[in-house]
Amino acid sequence: MADLPLIVSVDDHVVEPANVWQDRLPSKYAEVGPRIVRAPMGEITFVGGKLTVKPGSEGAPTDWWYYEELRRPLLRLDAAAGVPRDEVTMKGVTYDDMRPGAHQVKPRLEDMDVNHIEASLCFPTFPRFCGQTFLEASDKELGLLCVQAYNDWMVDEWCADSAGRLIPLCLIPLWDAELAAAEVRRNAERKVRAVCFSEIPPFLGLPSVHDPQNYWDPFFRACAETGTVVNMHIGSSSKMPSTSADAPPAVGSTLTHTNATFSVVDFLFSGVLVRFPTLQLAYSEGQIGWIPYILERADTVWEENRGWGGVADKVPEPPSTYFRRQVYGCFFDDAHGLRSVDDIGADNITYESDYPHSDSTWPHTKEVAERQMAHLDDDTRYKIVRGNAIKLFGLDHLANAAPVS
């Protein structure tokens, strides 16, 4: 067996530096745009998967994002890399309490080297996984400027200083599909091939992918025409799965894959993948072990319930056809899923390290991959940890790089 190829991680995270918006927004927004304020941590509640925190008058110093009326602290969960598991709590932290790689390019590249990672796609923190923070804000003119400022920072600083190792992932203004399409095209001109989207838009008060007026088609069309991959992270619907308001966070954490499951089924039966046959969807941190059953069940429903299922005129082929052609799963620690590679499709699986979150396999990602993929042949391992991501995101500069270190 060959050495494990250098990994292209398609789901990591960045804690935005304090100056991202203050350096880019017009001066009139200095007091309402996103900015960092240091204050003590106050009361924390976590009910039904929803976190609520408030600044306090006493306690450890914490760096807070202030934006309009929002007060959002930096949490240990945002940057848990290198911290013992038992110390990863809802504690508020400052930038000084984090590994520098959480928010600085050079230390991030160093931490990637330690972890056998050659390239990384990073989701946002303060904007949340698909920009919900700006969707929920009252001033949409400012919200659009904040989306654009984040994207400019992502392209011009975070990725530009990485010699091609950090892969740009941009936001859209979720509240307007036409503006979203324009932002996709603006960034595509800068060679951006990845954009964030919500796994279940109705949970955000937005039209679904089943909308009879095809509300999202301008956005999907822009992505298809520019080769921009639609990336949906678990939690990008702002509604983490749980069973009750008094269920502990561990219940929701165990069930995080279910939103990705719901979303895949939504798309398979929506007709979107039929209308846009080159559109590519990527599910981040959703794991992969559930995929074989869902594809089997979707095909059975399509075959046996066409008379009343409401999809006969929209989905002319078995749903699994569209999954194989246009959908990618992503995982970081899923031994069960790796025993089902043949049923999922080796060409539809990508890998991640989830740095610097609490679930991250850093700095042992290589060892975890080698252990869980020991039964796979070299070609399959190459596709999963590297090759599929290079093809999906058009990472031509990595295609001819040395495959192993």
Q: Quote the tokens at residue 6.
A: 């250098």
Using alpha carbons, select from 326, 329, 325, 317 the residue that is nearest to residue 293: 329
- pLDDT tens digits along 343-378: 999 999 999 999 999 889 999 999 999 999 999 999
Q: In this structure, which amino acid lies at residue 44?
A: I
What are the DSSP E strand ranges found in 101-257? 117-123, 166-167, 194-196, 229-233
Query: What distance in Å separates the CA atoms of residue 120 and residue 224, rounded to the nearest whole number?
Result: 22
Q: What is the CA radius of gyration of the chain?
A: 21
Using alpha carbons, select from 314, 309, 280 the residue that is nearest to residue 394: 280
**Beta-carbon count within 10 A of 91 CB:** 18
pTM of the model: 0.94
What's the distance, Cα to Cα, between the start and end of the chain in Å? 14
| Per-residue pLDDT at 405 | 42
Three-class DSSP labels, 312-359: CCCCCCCHHHHHHHHEEEEECCCHHHHCCHHHHCHHHEEECCCCCCCC
- pLDDT tens digits along 163-202: 999 999 999 999 999 999 999 999 999 999 999 999 999 9
- pLDDT tens digits along 116-166: 999 999 999 999 999 999 999 999 999 999 999 999 999 999 999 899 999
Query: What distance in Å separates the CA atoms of residue 366 and residue 353, rounded to the nearest whole number?
Result: 9
Strand-strand pairing, 35-47 and 50-55: antiparallel
> Is it the case that residue 402 has pLDDT exceeding 70?
no
* Neighbouring C-alpha atoms within 13 Å toward the C-beta of 267: 34
Query: What distance in Å separates the CA atoms of residue 24 and residue 18, rounded to the nearest whole number?
Result: 12
CA angle 323, 326, 331 (to 5 degrees): 75
